[in-house]
Amino acid sequence: DGDGDGEVRLHFSIVDSGIGIAEEKLATIFDAFAQADGSVTRKYGGTGLGLTISARLAEILGGRIWVESQPGRGSTFHFSVRFGVDPQTTRQLPQLPGTRVLVVVDHPVGRQVVARTLESAGARVSTVDSGKAALALFAARSSAVDVVLLDGSLPGIDARTLAGQLRSTAGGAATPLVIMVAQSTPGDRERYRDLEMAIVLGKPLTGEDLLLSLARALDGGPARRPTRPGNLPATPESRPRAVLLVDDNAINQQLTTALLERRGHRVTVAENGLAAVERMRTGRFDVVLMDMMMPVMDGLEATRRIRAAELAGGKRRSPIIAMTANAMPGDRESCLAAGMDDYLSKPIRGEELQHLLVKHGTAGDAELHQGTAEVEASTGFDYAAAVAKADQETVALIAVAFLESSASDLETIRRGIANADRRSVASTAAALHGTLDIFGARPAVRLAHRLEQQSAYGDPPEMALLADQLAEQIDCLRRALKSLTDTPSAP
């Protein structure tokens, strides 16, 4: 919502299909260390600070946070924040006042999003959910249409066939078409070449992509997609990487290899997890793309063995990105628990793949071996200075709570190591990692992160050593925080 004074208020909502929250608990869940059920912390982990920090951040940003929930049916969290609008950087998008657009999309959410985008530009939008309905509308000539926006993956009919049928109707012969396909390639444009005034638009797309393409279609212009970061000239951040591709499917190998080589990367292929373990033993790669489901050895087991070998040999940690065709609840958690660094859903999209390579491809050179955290921890890090540089409002909000809870968190980690409860170690170390990062406590952050990584595959004695080192660094942080909290407030 805009208010005319150079600011806008944005409203976000996040749907959680989890256990839900009882009505009598809704008023307190944004308080520090308050949860709807104490067993939740024991079962799922967490410090109980996340919602408190989120509420405070929303307030600082001129908004608020609230929740709607029913036990057993999940929750919807809402928050609103205010942002300034810089008139110097605001791009003027094409406007379509009065333009009659027919949207043919079967997915209800996608259809609604597209319609809202077009309506915001002044278009008059009609929507149908199938090719059959679109053909019936044109055959009946019930309403004139200036341009048709057509989903390329409608059920029951090929988009090329539907486009041809629309062209054969009296009302559709001269109507511009914009066809959205899952992945736009030169071959897609060849398929629609004989359809005059047709633009092929590749997904995923933004509102800007959509409006610019419709404007070009109405102007009879060429099908030219806006420049994206993946199409920009090479930069140091997008330098070629050595990539190990682990996938047993020949077609997937060809597709992913083509996407990588098109961007200048060097690709080595391993046909299963066992072959990948051997490749990693004899070679060095900037990034590993690991399929989840493979014969001989799956991606999770291969990752565990690679991480164990890195640990035993003191090698640097190579980024491993999971690839899976069936994104199921818990998949991402399983990947991270096995030691993977990120997650990529199939079908693979070139821009998303490049983004992850840029994100993780530079991390390998900077990733330190096992002893790095210990070295950094022993160099006399100035925790008081780090806390002074952190956001003071957030520090004031959570300092006392951290002082009260950190000892029990460390005890939970030590007990988890002794009892081989790796899930407990991982969740508690992850929660500490996030809280320590707020204070800028770099040595402690690195140790907590290392402990979180080793919880899936590390040896208990090594994990115990890390826990002791983490405790030493947390003691240093606690002393810095105590001096802060013990300082009398100015009158």
**Fold: same for 100-225 and 238-366:** yes
Q: What fold characterizes domain 100-225? A: Rossmann fold (3.40.50)
- Of the pLDDT bands very low, low, confident and very high (cuts 50, 70, 90), residue 152 is confident
The confidence score (pLDDT) of residue 488 equals 52
Q: Which residues pair with 246 in a beta bridge?
A: 270, 290
Q: Evaluate if residue 233 carries a pLDDT over 60.
A: no
The confidence score (pLDDT) of residue 87 equals 61
Average pLDDT over residues 450-477: 84
The confidence score (pLDDT) of residue 279 equals 92
User: CA angle, corner 183, sides to 239 and 269, nearest 5?
Assistant: 50
The confidence score (pLDDT) of residue 224 equals 35
Query: 163 in the Ramachandran plot: left (φ > 0), alpha (ψ -120 to 50) or beta?
Result: alpha
For the chain, percent of residues with pLDDT exceeding 70:
77
For the chain, percent of residues with pLDDT exceeding 90:
20
- Of the pLDDT bands very low, low, confident and very high (cuts 50, 70, 90), residue 225 is very low
The confidence score (pLDDT) of residue 142 equals 58
In the DSSP assignment, the letter for residue 2 is B
Strand pairing class (242-246; 266-270): parallel
**Where are any strands of DSSP class E within 177-238?**
177-181, 198-202
- Of the pLDDT bands very low, low, confident and very high (cuts 50, 70, 90), residue 367 is very low
- Looking at every residue in the chain, the average pLDDT score rounds to 78
Average pLDDT over residues 179-197: 60
- Of the pLDDT bands very low, low, confident and very high (cuts 50, 70, 90), residue 487 is low
**Where are any strands of DSSP class E within 26-88?**
64-70, 74-84
Half-sphere exposure in the Cβ direction for 148 (13 Å, CA):
33
The confidence score (pLDDT) of residue 226 equals 34
C-alpha to C-alpha distance for 405 and 434, rounded to whole angstroms: 14
The confidence score (pLDDT) of residue 414 equals 94
Say what the pTM is: 0.36
Query: 33 in the Ramachandran plot: left (φ > 0), alpha (ψ -120 to 50) or beta?
Result: left
Q: Evaluate if residue 183 carries a pLDDT over 70.
A: no
Average pLDDT over residues 347-375: 62
The confidence score (pLDDT) of residue 72 equals 87
The confidence score (pLDDT) of residue 21 equals 87
Average pLDDT over residues 132-138: 86
- Note the CATH number of domain 372-486: 1.20.120
C-alpha to C-alpha distance for 411 and 424, rounded to whole angstroms: 11
The confidence score (pLDDT) of residue 42 equals 45
The confidence score (pLDDT) of residue 246 equals 95
Is the distance from CB of 208 to CB of 91 less than 8 angstroms?
yes
- Of the pLDDT bands very low, low, confident and very high (cuts 50, 70, 90), residue 181 is confident
User: CA angle, corner 279, sides to 274 and 282, nearest 5?
Assistant: 130
Q: What pLDDT digit, counting tens, does each position of 54-107 carry? A: 888 888 888 899 999 988 888 999 999 888 776 655 556 778 888 899 999 988
Number of Cβ within a 10 Å radius of residue 354: 21
The confidence score (pLDDT) of residue 370 equals 40
Domain 7-84 has CATH 3.30.565.10: yes
- Of the pLDDT bands very low, low, confident and very high (cuts 50, 70, 90), residue 284 is confident
Ranges of each domain in the chain: 7-84, 100-225, 238-366, 372-486
Q: What fold characterizes domain 238-366? A: Rossmann fold (3.40.50)
The confidence score (pLDDT) of residue 127 equals 93
